[in-house]
Amino acid sequence: MKKDIQLLQELYLKTTGKLPESITMLPGSGSNRIYFRIISGERSMIGAVNDDLKENAAFIYLSNHFKNQGLPVPEIYGWKDDSSVYLQEDLGDHTLFSTLTGLQNGLEFPEDAIALYKKAINWLPKFQVKGAKLIDFRNCYPRPAFDKQSIMWDLNYFKYYFLKLSHINFDEQALEEDFETLCNFLLKPDSTYFLYRDFQSRNIMIKDNEIYFIDYQGGRKGALHYDIASLLYDAKADLPEYLRKELIDYYLDKLSEFVPIEKSSFLNYYYAFVYIRIMQAMGAYGFRGFYEKKLHFLLSIPYALKNLEYLLENHPIPIKLPVLTKVLNQIINSPVLRTIAQLKLTVNINSFSYKKGIPTDLSGNGGGFVFDCRALPNPGRLQGYEGKTGKDKEVADYLNSFKEVNEFSTHVLALVDQSVKTYQSRGFTNLMISFGCTGGQHRSVYLAEMLANYLKKYDNLTLELNHKEQSFPKTANQ
């Protein structure tokens, strides 16, 4: 990370003529790119670091091309000669997805959110048709077109990282034959347009009530159907079916302003593209979730199952795919996959003695917060507290009488509150918090108990409380 910051400082200096005042790493996403917010005075930029030089070059090329076409994408301010680091316009933190989750507060899909979807859809044909003009598709990555090889990559990604890792049984040769049939069907529509590839709610930014677009570095030549399928069947956005129908009609009306469209023919292929988009996404959930152990990706699986169940019943692919259809039915009926929706955040709270060492995080996440309580008043040094612990009222009252203990507690609760909310929103399943003092009997126990009681206010959270130096057994508060 130190090297990344140094590279960004050098590029920022080269681009603006001065050093930045601050560089802050932003939360990670589903890619290997690392993003930083770089601030100098009132100006803010986003710095990107990525070892995949061809992917970076594609993003820079397409950004400049779309900007010249008048499309709302981030401006590229500068890049390192080898394209490993680049600077782009800061469009803020509000995506269509985050805005959507803020607006949804009932069963009805909010009109404000529908208006934002229509704003985004207004731009899609412009990317696909107008944006395709003058593109040198040889600059696209990893393929110049969404061709047979690209489609087979997606299908095999689904096979190896989702089907196999979720233990779905299938005849591999017969499934490959169905993949071949599906691939040939998907290649029949006109594929001379720009295919954005990842046109979904997390890649649509909202700034000053205007729409902007990011993460099109995987774009290439392809059919019109794929991108609208990506947007409307974006798993965790969970659009209701009536709205999907309204928005596909809205898209076709807007698209018809650019190219002639025959609706029934378009829809005949559209749902096949919905299926492959869902399978590609499930491959990503499997790779990031099952393989890389980033469990919040698994929380999108229930939404994908819901979409598949609806599609199989209402919009089967209009060609014979017996093995693939069987596999998809196995997926939606898998008890293991359906239980993923029940994953909760487990908060493991410990009190310990520094003489015995800091507790080990057994979840594999490397530990979370460790709070040192040794600077607080120590009742263990006073008469009258022999044989008592931080669980006893006398000890709690003593500690609670000190201003510094209350200040310490307030800071702890603020830090933990922020992490719990973020962990739950991102689908994380483990957070460890440890309090240490000299003997692990009084101050650390008191604060561990205080935090456990405070966190009981949260739904969908499991608490595990462990007092490492106590003789009584550990308790778990649900």
Write out the chain's pLDDT in tens, 478 residues: 788 999 999 999 999 999 999 999 887 766 789 999 999 998 999 999 999 999 999 999 999 999 999 999 999 999 998 889 999 999 999 999 988 866 655 456 889 999 999 999 999 999 999 999 999 999 999 999 999 999 999 999 999 999 999 999 999 999 999 999 999 999 999 999 999 999 999 999 999 989 999 999 999 999 999 999 999 999 888 899 999 999 999 999 999 999 999 999 999 999 999 999 999 999 999 999 999 888 778 888 988 999 999 999 999 999 999 999 999 999 999 988 887 756 678 899 999 999 988 988 766 566 789 999 999 999 988 888 878 999 999 999 999 999 999 999 999 999 999 999 888 776 677 899 999 999 999 999 999 999 999 998 887 788 989 998 874 434 343 3
Radius of gyration of the chain (CA): 27
| Within this chain, domains 2-89 and 96-341 share the same CATH topology | no
Non-local CB neighbours of 332 within 8 Å, separated by 6+ positions = 305, 308, 309, 312
Contact 318, 269 (CB under 8 A): no
pTM above 0.85, yes or no: no
Q: Which DSSP string do the residues of 391-405 spell out, in sequence order? A: TSHHHHHHHHT-HHH
Least Cα distance to 24 among 11, 43, 5, 42 occurs for: 5
pLDDT at position 384 is 81
Q: Which amino acid is at 200?
A: Q
Say what the alpha-carbon torsion angle 409, 413, 415, 416 is, to the nearest 10 degrees: 130
pLDDT at position 477 is 37
Domain ranges of the chain: 2-89, 96-341, 344-477
Written as six digits, the tokens of 302 are 């229930």
**Domain 2-89, CATH:** 3.30.200.20
Local structure of residue 349 (DSSP, 8 states): E
Contact 202, 95 (CB under 8 A): yes
Least Cα distance to 376 among 341, 356, 400 occurs for: 400
Which CATH architecture is the domain 96-341 placed in?
A: Alpha-Beta Complex (3.90)
At 25 the three-state DSSP class reads: strand
Query: Which residue has tokens 């790493």?
Result: 25
